[in-house]
Amino acid sequence: MLNKVGVNAKRLKRITSFKVYLTNPSLRTALFSPISETDQEMGNMVETAILSQWMHREQLDLTYARWKEGRNEGEVDLVLVDDKSYKPVWGVEIKWSNRYFYKPQELKSLIKFCKTNKFESAVVTSIDQLGMKEILGLKFTFLPASIYAYNIGEITLKMKNKN
């Protein structure tokens, strides 16, 4: 379960919404029908897989950002909040699409989040595109979702083996 924060990553006074993930793929398949890589639901599965990798890290305050300001609303899939300063450390937009690699200007929510929190860069996942794009003074690193999930797992294992 991930709690929601606003565009500036401040905790909301009342917890009225959150995201719940089924982190076991076989449980998801048992409850719903199987999916293929081109199904619309694949984006949710990729988001769940990436979050599952992060869950092996202890003491991480992972959240997601969602806001509504007049007619403008936005969301950033994963936000790490520093538990001492209560400020965002980074944000990641998890996509199962290559579209945003070619049209990074369409990442309006991520752009707003980065500008609000004075971030210079962020990570965006894709299906298979790898590279960096600059838009409005922000640097977005695009990684295939599989590589991003692998990197989280590998670094987590190395951290645990050091201890």
Of 122, 123, 157, 148, nearest to 51 (Cα)? 148
2-5/62-69 β-pairing: parallel
The answer, yes or no, to whether residue 13 has pLDDT greater than 70, is no
Boundaries of every domain in the chain: 2-162
**Element holding 156 (H helix, E strand):** helix 145-162
Sorted by sequence, the CB contacts under 8 Å of residue 160 that are 6+ apart come out as 56
Report CA torsion sign: 90, 141, 67, 119.
positive
User: Tell me: the pLDDT tens digits for 18-73?
Assistant: 777 666 767 777 777 788 888 888 998 899 889 989 988 877 889 999 999 888 89
Whether 19 and 64 have beta carbons less than 8 Å apart is answered as: yes
Pairing of strands 131-135, 2-5: unpaired
At 85-141, the pLDDT tens digits run 889 999 999 999 999 999 999 999 999 999 999 999 999 999 999 999 999 999 999
